[in-house]
Structure 1
């Protein structure tokens, strides 16, 4: 998995919601984080909450204020494939630049190169093969 602050996704959110909601400035640290998934079984995507005694998600997107505590779940299947299961969130989960939200609770099989958009600026790119 590659997690990064996506300027194009941020600009889209700014254009759609900037007049209604205060959207924070785009982060200056835009380094790509690589997160291995092989053999992990499942990984929660979310945002740790400061001062709360909850276990932080395995993919912690605490710097993106639009990400929910439990935003989604990546689950490795018995055959090695990977699925995304979107959770109920305030801001939704989107795939591959689409404007329609991912259906909640329905496993979506992921392919190499798929992009998961969430929060204000975060994109997670699926990497099933080494790069």
Structure 2
């Protein structure tokens, strides 16, 4: 049996630039994204008590932890027919509008903006009483890590740094 003749591509005398004209350098590989922020989505019975909703409040339990990958986060309820897919989906709370609020960050600070929702968006500091006045529609309000953002009939959001386990 005779072996096939070596090709130019397998020849040790041919430089790499010829065999692979577009080599990929390690610096071209993007590093994986690191999760920095999460939102805890809570059912808050105290908030529900102030909202006078006709809907029964679900049983509160542990919060749902939603990773916040983007700098601009839509809070609302999913609607496939309207092509609305919020990053923080509050689908069980019918007091939440489909496009309820926008949370944005510059990497250090967080802002909440009500998107002309039906029931308003409220912000209060951690440990403070429940808020009574919504933020004005279309106005961005800064809030700090751990502050509470209230939407709908029973939903409370807390934005915080991701733990090492969540990263």
TM range (shorter): 0.7 to 0.9
* 1:110–1:126 CA contact under 8 A, matched in 2: no
Distance 1:80 1:126 in 2: 12
Matched residue, 2:67: 36
1:25 is matched with which residue: 56, 59, 84?
56
- Does residue 87 of structure 1 match 2:115? yes
* 1:112–1:129 CA contact under 8 A, matched in 2: no
Matched residue, 1:3: 41
Distance 2:131 2:163 in 1: 26
Structure 2 unmatched runs, 5+: 1-38, 125-129
TM-score, normalising length: structure 2? 0.66
Report Cα offsets for 1:22-80 as digits up to 9, x if no partner.
x111113633111222x51111000113x514131111111000000100111121x53
Matched residue, 1:117: 150
Runs of 4+ in structure 1 over 6 Å off: none
Aligned residues: 121
More relative contact order, 1 or 2 (CA 8 Å, 6+ apart): 1
CA RMSD in angstroms comes to 1.9
Matched residue, 2:76: 46
Distance 2:158 2:58 in 1: 18
**Which is greater in Rg?**
2
